[in-house]
Structures are given as C-alpha cells and as structure tokens.
Amino acid sequence: MPLVAPSLLSANFLELQKDCDLLNRSEADWFHLDVMDGRFVPNISFGPMLISFFRKATQKTCDVHLMIEEPGRYVEAFQQAGADIITIHVEACKHLHRNIQQLKTLGVKAGVALNPHTSVHAIGDIIREIDLVCLMSVNPGFGGQQFIPHTLYKIRELKELINSSGSKALIEIDGGVTLENAPAIVKAGADVLVAGNTVFKAADPLATIAQLKKTGAA
C-alpha cells in the first residue's frame, strides 16, 4: 500500500480549514506542501508562514517540497515553521551534499527532487544520505498537468539504485497521478503518491484518497 500525500496546492485557499479537516478525516498519510519562488519555477505559491498554519491544522506529516533557488537560505525557516520532511531540488543546489547535511542538522527528514530531465544517476553518490527521492512526473510549477510516461522507467531505475546501494530512501511520485495510472506507478516501485487535482477536483475526495491508498492491493 502506497503512502498518499495530497497536494494542498489544489485546495481551495479561501476554505483551507475545511480542506485540512477533510484530509485529517481521510486516509491520507501526509500533507504535501508545494513552495514555489517564481525563479526556480514560473509560479509563486506560499512560504513558511502558511506552512506554520498547516502545522497547526494537522498532526499528519508535513511534506514540504521546495521548488526554490538556493534552498539552503530558507530550510531553517521551513523547519521552524513545522516541516517534517523538506525536499530540495538537485537542479537548485550547487552543493547538494552540504544542503542535505544542513537538513539533517536541523533534524528534519531529507528529500531530494529530480526534474523530468534529470537522470536518477545524478544522486547516486548521495542516495544513502537521504530519506526520500521525489521524482517529478511533470515539469514543476503547476498542478493539473499530464503525467510523463517515461517516469515509469525512472522509477524502476531508481529502485535498482536504492536496492543496490542499501539506501532506505522512499520513492515519491509528484505530478499527474490519477486513479488510472496509480497502479502502474506503484507496480514500478513507488512508495508515495502525491495527488493534487485527482483529490481536490474529485466529486468525493475522501473516497478518492481511499482508492489511491488501496492501489496495488489484491
């Protein structure tokens, strides 16, 4: 059974309390929180202040995905805001190893995200240091995009890398996850499914989360 991490980027920001309550009542495992700076990605979302509100609104794991340049300048602010997992992009870090050490020193789980064009081999030398790899299955910046099928190949490659290195990193898939493609994603080796539009645009978000959670069950 995969972990399910609904992305609040697709929530109704005028009724966030309602959407947080819904996730709290659901089988969702994590809150996936997408931070965008308008530089690393062409969109701007929210920062540490909103994360601290989400922190107060849930006991579930706050999985903070930083789509920002020079994340090292901000990770402490996000840890203080209450992040449990902080994921930084390999493409945004000149000194990725140093940034991972920084996350560990702060006492948060360390995640590394890869854009669709970045090979999983880019993280071969740090795979044992991290808790999570987020494979972007769309180009980051917006919810509601189409899943890039090549990601399935990358999941299998990453799984091999993790198994052969003795890493304990979880594989998270982010972007365009639907009820239709979730079985293939989990079969390929994914541990965590991020879902924005699939959950929040569904007629019945609770049932949709429950269905995602059942992915791969006999």
Contact 177/134 with Cβ under 8 angstroms? no
Mark the segment that binds Zn ion (CB under 5 A) among 47-55, 123-131, 149-157, 168-176: 168-176
99's contact among Zn ion, ligand DX5, none, with CB below 5 to 8 A by partner kind, is: none
Distances 152 to 35, 83, 141, 185 between C-alpha atoms, Å:
25, 28, 21, 6
Written as six digits, the tokens of 175 are 């972007």
Residue closer to ligand DX5 by CB (options 52, 197) is 197
Site for ligand DX5 in 63-102 (CB under 6 A): 65
Placement of tokens 């995602």 in the chain:
212
Q: What ranges in the chain are assigned the alpha helix state H?
A: 16-25, 48-57, 75-81, 96-106, 151-165, 182-188, 197-200, 205-213
Question: Among 19, 29, 34, 63, which residue sits at the site for Zn ion (rule: CB under 5 A)?
Answer: 34
Of 55, 65, 109, 154, the residue at the interface with Zn ion (CB under 5 A) is 65
CA 41, chain centre distance (Å): 15
How far apart are alpha carbons 156 and 51 in whole angstroms? 32
- Region near ligand DX5 per CB under 6 A, out of 116-124, 138-146, 148-156, 162-170: 138-146
Q: Which residues are part of the catalytic machinery? A: 34, 174
| Footprint of ligand DX5 (CB under 6 A) | 7, 9-10, 32, 34, 65, 138, 140-145, 174-177, 194-198
| Footprint of Zn ion (CB under 5 A) | 34, 65, 174
